[in-house]
Amino acid sequence: MPAPGITATAGPSPHFVLICKALLNLGLFALLLGCSGCVRASDESTLEKILRTGVARVGYANEAPYAYMDSDQRRLTGEAPEIARIILKRMGVQRVEGVLLTEFGTLIPGLKARRFDLIAAGMYITPPRARQVAFSNPTYAIGEALIVARDNPLQLHSYTDVVENPEARLGVAAGAIQRRYAKELGVPDSRLVVFPDAPSALAGVGAGRVDAYAATSLTAGDLLRRTSSVAVELAEPFENPVINGKPAVGYGAFAFHKDDHDLVATFNHHLAEFIGTPEHLELIESFGFSEATLPGDVTAAELSREVSP
């Protein structure tokens, strides 16, 4: 074996050589990642960008019938993406690209980090959310429902029934509005179970992990239509909850980055010309929406206003 050094400590300190090599390697590594992974932010507004490229990226959380990948995994569909396609086309954007987030709760952080240009997930307009993002005007209005085990063993027909029965455990999906309803109506935390998504919550009722799963009437109806399980059913009749003196009707809309005023304004302009037309009703019919779920003339601004408790 060659022994080039005169003594073991001659020349530049071996520590020094080692450190230099390590730093060099780290630097190369960082550079490599930097080049492959970085996308520079520019001064161009989102509206200008999607008009120039002809592509808009929409974030969704795979929840039928609002926004989901159809069962052959070919096409993003649902109430929100289909409406977005039409409105964006009228604005001059030809293509809609879906960005799928497996958790509903990560949609708003994703939008703020500009991982996509808008949220098309039928997201309800609420004051806390409106502090984070800018909403379009609503495209639908719907009420609530409970999914329970077959024959509804605990006879749960409202949130109040859940509150009053000390045995009843209520499931909700993470990030969904029902968690807030449950809290405001007095369901204690110890009896509230948060599932990562709607299918898990449904499976939770089937497996007896919770006694009821609270969802919008559309989500509930859709899940029950598609499941093969006979262990679960819709709680009927169901008394829609009243929050702060107002019936808990959810208004679903598109959400945009707070800085994209021009995009929201243009989108709203085209939306107003489309909502309620026969073309709109025909489009949303297959997703279980109808004339009864039209939002009326409620605006995003009204729904975003904070209500004093």
The site for another protein (CB under 8 A) is made up of 1, 3, 5-11, 14-15, 17-19, 22, 25-26, 29, 33, 36-41, 62-64, 68-71, 73, 99-103, 106, 109-110, 112-115, 197-200, 202-203, 223, 226-229
Burial class (CB in 10 A: 0-12, 13-18, 19+), 263: buried
Determine the Cα–Cα distance for residues 232 and 192; give it in Å rounded to an integer: 19
Q: Considering the complex, what minimum distance in angstroms separates the CB of residue 66 from another protein?
A: 12
Query: Nearer to another protein by C-beta: 3 or 292?
Result: 3
Task: Map tokens 């709760």 to a residue.
Answer: 105
Residue nearer to another protein on the CB measure, 109 or 153: 109
Smallest gap from residue 72 Cβ to another protein (A): 9
Residues 6+ away with beta carbon under 8 Å from 186:
163
Integer-rounded Cα radius of gyration of the chain: 25
Backbone angles phi, psi at 44, to 5 degrees: -60, 135
Residue 88 CB, nearest distance to another protein (Å)?
21
> In the complex, what is the shortest distance from the CB of residue 233 to another protein, in angstroms, rounded to a whole number?
15
DSSP 3-state assignment of 131?
helix
Query: Smaller CB distance to another protein: residue 104 or 124?
Result: 104
Q: How far is the CB of 148 from another protein (least distance, A)?
A: 17
Cβ distance to another protein smaller for residue 219 or 299: 219
> Three-state SS for 194?
strand
Q: Which residues face 172 on adjacent strands?
A: 194
CB of 165 within 8 A of CB of 143? no
Is the CB of 63 or the CB of 144 nearer to another protein?
Answer: 63
